[in-house]
Amino acid sequence: MVDYLFYLCVDILAWLANATGTTYELVNIIIFVIGYPIFVILLLLIIYFQRKKINNLRSNKF
């Protein structure tokens, strides 16, 4: 099952490389070295601001 999922992801990356006219390595770098860290940072910022908003609502309630 893990092998199937891995090769499916490789095929998707190869398809994206062919569709964009780039290489597999470049698509891999864009997704996992640039895209994923930006995604994680955005999620952490959302969590931070939501927690701040919740704390403000709790402090205004009393």
The residue type of 11 is D
Per-residue pLDDT at 62: 63
Per-residue pLDDT at 12: 96
The residues spanned by each domain of the chain are: 2-61
Question: What tens-digit pLDDT sequence spans the chain (62 residues)?
Answer: 999 999 999 999 999 999 999 999 999 999 999 999 999 999 999 999 999 999 999 988 76
Per-residue pLDDT at 11: 96
pTM: 0.71
What DSSP character marks residue 31?
I
Per-residue pLDDT at 60: 83
Q: Buried b / exposed e across 25-47, counting CB within 10 Å, b at 16+?
A: eebeeeeeeeeeeeeeeeeeeee
